[in-house]
Structure formats: C-alpha cells, structure tokens
C-alpha cells in the first residue's frame, strides 16, 4: 500500500491511526458481531458511541454546560438557512462579515429571511485579509453577527474573536474547528461541516447556547428547528451514524495528542514551514496578507503561470496530490489540516524547492 500526501481542501486527510482502527472494527465493533454502519441509532451500542463522542468533544473545546452539542446533517450550507430560521426574527436584521465565497453564500441565504447588514468586507482586495475589530460596523440591535472563521478558498483566518457585545456571535468554523483552542463562551453558536478536521463528509457539528434554542420561526420545516434536535439528542431522525463514530475516534486521537494546545503547536509548525518558503522565494507568491494567513489553507501562485500544469503533474508523481488552487485565486492551494503530518509539509517544501531550482 502506498499512501500519498493529500492536500485536498475537503473531504480531507484523516489521521492514519483512526483509519486503521476503523478498518479493524469495520466488520465487528467491540464484539457486537456487526459494523457500526449496521447498528440501530436507537440501540445501546450506538447511543454509547454518540455519548462518548459528545463527551470527548466537550472536553477538547471546553464546551460550557449551558450549550447543546448537536450532530446534524446537511453540511455548513444547510446551516446558512438554519441559523436565520432559528435566530433571525421576522422583520429582524443580522450583521454579516464578508471574507470570502462561503461568507457571501451564508449572507445571501440569510437575505431570504430578513435584512442583512454587511458589517465589513474584504472583497475590495479579493478577500486576501480579515477585517480588524476597528473596521466592524456592528449594530447593537442585530439579532446576531455571523463570521466565517477560516476561509478555505482564499486562505485567510481570524486570529482574534470579534467583540460583539451582547449580540450573539455565530461562527462557521468548518475549516479550522479543533485546530486550536477556542473560547466557546464567546460565541452564541458554532457550526462546522466535518470533512476537514472532524471526520467523513455527511456530519455537521452545531454547538449552540441554550437561550438561543426554541426561537425557530413558525412554519419552518421541523428538521430545521434546533429545539427538535436538542430535545431528541440529535436522533429525531436517523443521524449520520458512521460519520459520528469516526468523528468520535478523531476526538479521542486529538485528546491523546495532548488536546488542542498540542494540536495548535503542530499546526503552527507546519504553517511556518510552508509560509517560510513562500516568503523567501521570488519564484512563488502568496496572495494573503501575512496577519490574516490561515494555518489550514495556504494558497500560492507561481510567478510563471505557464508552469502550473507542470508543477501539478510533477507533484502528483512525487505523491503530493490535490494541490490545484480554486479558480477564484488560481495557482495552487495546500490544505494542511490537523491530520496532515509535518513530514507531508516537509515533502511539499522539498519538492517546491527542487522545482524552483529546476525551473526558476
């Protein structure tokens, strides 16, 4: 078996020890004689799996007791609708900070249910930076403030938590959740698609403060009401059982590594290694403002764009895959989520150094 270094933005690389445990337990989970994929979501075996996953996630993030943890489906994109349906009253308004494609999509969806105020935007510089606290034009009467914590396409990330006063702060944390410690108490609601740092595609995490539950507007579909899921322990309908199981293994893996402080240190080391090369080189360019750079997604271009296809082809031969950048930015993008080992980033840096030597 020959595994590659997978720099995909998502679905993304998973920890090898987790994949190995999934393989070993696939046919018979803990002597039950069946796979987790075959279990009833209402049976004791799976209820225990889900309970342990929630317990470990709460431990990792220090989730306060007055927050519910929900295991849902539909990805972050469904949360673009669920958030305003649950938090935005009829005739109300919300503040959105636009820092990339997914932030724009979230705001566009919210406009279907109420008024959206653009509290700040970095569109004028092609989303290459995160607006500062001083730039935020926040309305103290807003129902909530929405941010996208990490911008996968443009490679930017919040390195501060906006102060929104008494207005609940909502965070789409899909692409940097569990990559660093996070003060959950600073947020009213956090949501994240699983397919980057948590587990397989199909699971969505929602962490929501108790006082924000039970506000869903009348006439909304039952499955889009946070209260329904909270009252039924995320099992009003069949949850994504296998994805929850794998996520639980990832949570345990991160705890064994030393929790999120240790994970953050590893992510800083990887990011500094790759950004260090980009900053030293005249052959490569990084379009993001240094103060806003993401530790998870690193976009870069070649000075000579005619070499892009050659770079990608040779990288693939070297076992470095999924490096093509998004069309909005062009060039390349290396996604270096939690499960990407330092050795993978070092292999990429070595390849890039050699490629520059040969073509620069």
Closest CA to 146 of 100, 90, 210, 213: 100
Cis peptide before 117 (omega within 30 of 0): no
Q: What percent of the chain has pLDDT over 90?
A: 98
Q: For 72, left (φ over 0), alpha (ψ -120 to 50), or beta?
A: beta
How far apart CA 10 and CA 197 sit, in angstroms, is 9
Band (pLDDT 50/70/90 cuts) for residue 159 is: very high
DSSP, residue by residue, 304-326: SGGGHHHHHHHHHHTTEE--BPP
**Exposure of 123 in the CB half-sphere (CA atoms within 13 A):** 10
102 is catalytic: yes
- The pLDDT assigned to 304 comes to 96
Q: In angstroms, rounded to a whole number, what is the distance separating the alpha carbons of residues 356 and 171?
A: 39
Sequence spans of domains, the chain: 16-257, 259-359
Given a cut of 90, whether residue 221 has pLDDT beyond it is yes
Catalytic pick from 29, 68, 95, 102? Answer: 102
Per residue in 89-111, pLDDT (tens digit) is: 999 999 999 999 999 999 999 99
* Paired tokens of 218: 């009348």
**Is residue 196 annotated as part of the catalytic site, yes or no?**
yes
pLDDT in tens, 30-52: 999 999 999 999 999 999 999 99
∠ Cα 8 10 13 (to 5°): 65
Query: Which pLDDT does position 327 carry in this prediction?
Result: 85
pLDDT at 1 over 80: no
Matching CATH number, 259-359, of 3.30.460.10, 3.90.1150.10, 3.20.20.150, 3.30.160.250 = 3.90.1150.10
Average pLDDT over residues 281-304: 97
Catalytic residue, from 56, 68, 95, 196: name it.
Answer: 196
Mean pLDDT throughout 234-240?
97
**Terminal alpha carbon distance of the chain:** 34
What would the pLDDT profile of 294-348 be if each residue is shown by its tens digit? 999 999 999 999 999 999 999 999 999 999 999 888 899 999 999 999 999 999 9
pTM of the model: 0.97
Query: In the CATH hierarchy, which top-level class contains the domain 16-257?
Result: alpha beta
Distance CA 295, CA 316 (A): 23
Residue 264 contacts residue 179 (beta carbons within 8 Å): yes
* Active-site option among 68, 172, 270, 324: 172
Query: Could you give the count of Cα atoms lying within 13 Å of 217 in the half-sphere of its Cβ?
Result: 15
Tokens of 166: 């008494």
Q: How confident is the model at residue 283 (pLDDT cuts 50, 70, 90)?
A: very high
Average pLDDT over residues 149-166: 98
Helix spans in the chain (H)? 16-25, 44-61, 75-87, 101-110, 226-231, 241-257, 259-280, 308-317, 342-359
Q: Give the C-alpha separation, 151 to 9, whole Å.
A: 11
Give the whole-number percent of the chain exceeding pLDDT 70. Answer: 100
* H helix or E strand, kind and range, residue 5: strand 5-6
317 is catalytic: no
Could you tell me the two tokens for 175? 């692409």
Q: Work out the pLDDT band at 132, boundaries 50, 70, 90.
A: very high
Average pLDDT, the chain: 97
């Amino acid at each position: 078996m020959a595994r590659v270094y997978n720099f995909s933005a998502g679905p993304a690389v998973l920890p090898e020890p987790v994949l190995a445990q999934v393989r070993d337990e696939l046919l018979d989970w803990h002597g039950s004689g069946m796979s987790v994929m075959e279990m009833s979501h209402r049976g004791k075996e799976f209820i225990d799996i889900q309970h342990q996953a929630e317990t470990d996630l709460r431990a990792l993030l220090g989730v306060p007791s007055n927050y519910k943890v929900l295991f849902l489906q539909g990805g972050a994109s469904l949360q673009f609708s669920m958030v305003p349906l649950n938090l935005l009253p009829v005739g109300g308004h919300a503040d959105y900070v636009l820092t990339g494609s997914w932030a724009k999509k979230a705001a566009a969806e919210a406009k279907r249910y109420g008024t959206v105020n653009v509290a700040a935007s970095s569109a004028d510089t092609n989303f290459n930076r995160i607006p500062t606290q001083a730039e935020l034009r926040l309305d103290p009467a807003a129902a909530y403030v929405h941010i996208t914590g990490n911008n996968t396409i443009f490679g930017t990330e919040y390195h501060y938590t906006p102060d929104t006063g008494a207005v609940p702060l909502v965070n789409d944390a899909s692409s940097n959740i569990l990559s660093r410690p996070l003060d959950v108490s600073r947020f009213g609601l956090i949501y994240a698609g699983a397919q980057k740092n948590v587990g397989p595609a199909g699971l969505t995490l929602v962490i929501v403060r108790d006082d924000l539950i039970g506000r869903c507007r009348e006439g909304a579909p039952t499955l889009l009401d946070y209260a329904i899921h909270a009252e039924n322990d995320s099992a009003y309908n069949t949850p994504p059982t296998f994805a929850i199981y794998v996520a639980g293994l990832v949570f345990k893996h991160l705890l064994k590594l030393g929790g999120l402080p240790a994970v953050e240190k590893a992510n800083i080391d990887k990011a500094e290694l790759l950004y260090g090369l980009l900053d030293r080189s005249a052959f490569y360019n990084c379009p993001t403002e240094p103060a806003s750079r993401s530790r998870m997604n690193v976009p870069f271009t070649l000075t000579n764009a005619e070499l892009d296809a050659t770079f990608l082809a040779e990288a693939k031969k070297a076992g470095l895959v999924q490096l093509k950048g998004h069309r909005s930015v062009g060039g390349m993008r290396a996604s270096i989520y939690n499960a990407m080992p330092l050795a993978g980033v070092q292999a990429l840096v070595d390849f890039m150094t050699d490629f520059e030597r040969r073509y620069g």
